Amino acid sequence: MTLEAHAKVNLTLEVGNLRPDGYHDLRSVVAPISLFDVVELEPAGDIVDASGIDFGAENLAVRAARALRRAAGVEAGVRIAVDKRIPMGAGLGGGSADAAATLVGLDSLWGLGWGRERLMKVAEEVGSDVPALVHGGVVLMEGRGERVSGWKGEVDRRPLVLLKPSVHASTPEVYREFRAEDRGMGPNDLQPAACRLHPEIRLALEALVRAGGRDARMTGSGSAVFARAEDRAEAERILERLAGGCWKAIAEVTA
């Protein structure tokens, strides 16, 4: 079974209070975009990672398969191969997207028939962004990330130009650096903290603006940033003006 695991951008991200469980309450509008990893699932005796990629910690797709096997009380296995196209450590939800696609795929491969609503409970265990990506579409994500509802507001359909500086932003580190004064400085409350830790992110935002990008901002805890273009032709021009060396791409909101 072959699945497309779509990346996300946080169109907005408001950080609330630190909770007793170590997470922050947040409120974020999350949109899936046209950039995706390809996740290949094949029946197997055990849960096997066949991606051949160093994920640093554990492959979230494998963690998702283990969590679903536990929750469903089944003996089944799966061979998971992820073809990575979404840069890692970017705030584009690549690992979470792989996990979400794996849950949806295994629901049918293992014949569970749970549906997305029930899978979202398991998704919570895997990571804060995973329930939103299992839900699908543009969503409002609240709480730690477990309260997800379809976004009823306007969705800007203009193309996005994405740029990822060569730094890897660690989500826990960025949350630790977050200060109350950072709130409301822009659409993403984590952006000032990430820029303090990694000045390359500030430079990437400036580069996007200089190249003609509009409404430049960071996604998630970084390090990728994105801006709007009026249309595809303008997006191509902005992309060309950005210096080489960093990962860059054009994408659209897909929902």
Residue 109, H or E segment? helix 94-109
Query: What is the DSSP secondary structure assignment for residue 122, as one 8-state letter?
Result: H
| DSSP string covering 135-148 | H-SSEEEEETTTEE
182 tagged catalytic: no
Report the SS3 class of residue 230. coil
Q: Please state the closest distance from residue 144 (CB atom) to ligand C5P, in A.
A: 4
Say whether residue 24 binds ligand C5P (CB under 6 A): yes
**Residue 25 near residue 19 (C-beta atoms within 8 A):** yes
For residues 142 to 181, the per-residue mask of contacts with ligand C5P, x marking binding by CB under 6 A and - elsewhere, is --xx-------------------------xx--x------
Q: Which residues contact 110 (CB under 8 A, 6 or more apart)?
A: 68, 72, 74, 76, 78
Structure tokens given for 166: 């060569």
Establish whether 84 is a catalytic residue. Answer: no
Catalytic residue among 37, 107, 129, 182: 129
Q: Could you say whether residue 114 binds ligand C5P (CB under 6 A)? A: no
Report the nearest approach of ligand C5P to the CB of residue 100 (Å): 13
Using CB under 6 A as the binding rule, whether residue 128 contacts ligand C5P is answered as yes
Nearer to ligand C5P, 145 or 192 (CB): 145
Q: Binding residues for ligand C5P, per CB under 6 A?
A: 23-24, 26, 127-129, 144-145, 171-172, 175
